Amino acid sequence: MAYLITGGTGFLGARVAHRLVSRGEDVVLFDYAPVRDRITGIEDDVTLVRGDIRQVEQLARVFVEHDVTSIAHLASALTGTCSDQPPLAMSINAVGSANVLELASIHDVNRVVFASSLAAYGYVEYDEEREVDEKSPRWPNNLYGSTKVLKEDMGRHYAAENDMNVFGLRFGAIVGPGRAGGTPVVHLQDLFENPATGKPVTVTGAELKMNWLYVKDAAASIIQALDVSQQGFDMFNVRDRFMSVRAVAGLVAENVPDADITVVSEPDEDHYPYGTHPKLDDTKMREVLGFTPEVGLESGIQEYVRLTAEQS
């Protein structure tokens, strides 16, 4: 009985792997470009397979050679790839996800949990406030969001047609050490990392509010979705704090008193090309999924800053 994590050495996948290993699970990591540093300490406790989810034969061998009973499907093309290389992004996010779901149905996998995004709802104008729950209309305004909608709809189809348990988690701004892609969160990495290393930082869009979540809490929510007894198909908004960039900059300053942080109210369209976040209603996350953030944004930022300073 093994847990398969696609994107298994990624920013989020590696954290899920560490948590599963810590409780004694058999874990298989499937990754196109493994980052071995992220699995330091558990490398002897996992099976690492280098492969491409677009190549169904490569993926199928994992199901044949390991008794895969649960899947965390986290491999994905991010916003930049969707913008710059649409055919590549579609092949990863659409064809790759279809391969994962098809093989899961063939091999009677008990549960598939996948990462979606608030981009499925569509971003809102800079001065607009809108709250969305899991039944709100999905109107993505970029290709990344469209691929997430397609992934959700494929999950719903496979769950209904094959009596599978498939759950999707719609995340917002996941922050923490080691993130390598995504918009606008990567731009905001400097807000956390520059003060920790004694460098000045200027952040734009200070009044924009986002659905923040520390990476360890994002990983914990995936574990909860893998464990929850609920059956069938479902989607969950997952977040911690909904707060402005300015407020988060204040939390960083509390941890680095001499931080040189300049906040600019006007959004920079190069970093916020699609607008800003609608507010995610997290009621279902708490009451149905049974998840509440363990670390919390404030403690997460404290850890993020400390780890960055130690590694500089």
> How is 101-132 classified by DSSP, letter by letter?
HHHHHHTT-SEEEEEEEGGGT--B-TT---EE
Tokens, residue 255: 């941890």
Q: What's the mean pLDDT when you consider all of the chain?
A: 94
- Mean pLDDT score, 52-77: 97
> Which residues neighbour 176 within 8 Å (Cβ) at sequence distance 6 or greater?
11, 214, 215, 216, 300, 304
E strands, 176-271, where? Answer: 201-203, 209-214, 233-238, 241-244, 261-263
Q: Check whether 183 has a pLDDT greater than 60.
A: no
Residues contacting residue 170 through CB under 8 Å, at least 6 positions apart: 116, 117, 118, 120, 121, 134, 148, 235, 236, 237, 238, 280
pLDDT at 276: 87
Residue linked to tokens 């930082």: 201
Q: What is the mean pLDDT of residues 20-40?
A: 97
Task: Report the C-alpha gap between 233 and 229 in whole angstroms.
Answer: 12
Separation CA 222–CA 12 (nearest Å): 10
Tokens at 279, concatenated? 């507010």
The answer to whether residues 210 and 247 touch, using CB atoms and an 8 Å cutoff, is no
Residue 87 CA to residue 289 CA, distance in Å, equals 34
DSSP string, 116-174: EEGGGT--B-TT---EE-TTS-----SHHHHHHHHHHHHHHHHHHHHT-EEEEEEE-EE
pLDDT at 80: 84
Other Cβ atoms within 10 Å of 106 Cβ, number? 11
Buried/exposed 159-181: b ≥16 CB within 10 Å, e otherwise: beeeebbbbbbbbbbbbbbbbee
Distance between first and last Cα of the chain: 40
Model confidence pLDDT, tens digit, residues 125-176: 877 788 999 999 999 999 999 999 999 999 999 999 999 999 999 999 999 9
Q: 31 pairs with which residues across the strands? A: 50
Nearest Cα to 22, choosing from 4, 5, 49, 41? 41
Q: What is the mean pLDDT of residues 243-255?
A: 96
- Which residues 6+ apart lie within 8 Å of 61 measured at CB? none
Give tens-digit pLDDT for 253-300: 999 999 999 999 888 777 777 788 999 999 999 999 999 999 999 999
Contact (CB, 8 A) for 115 and 148? no
DSSP string, 76-93: ---HHHHHH-HHHHHIII
Q: How many residues does the chain have?
A: 312
For position 223, what pLDDT does the model report?
99
Residue 11 C-beta-side C-alpha neighbours within 13 Å = 20
Residues 73-86 have a mean pLDDT of 92
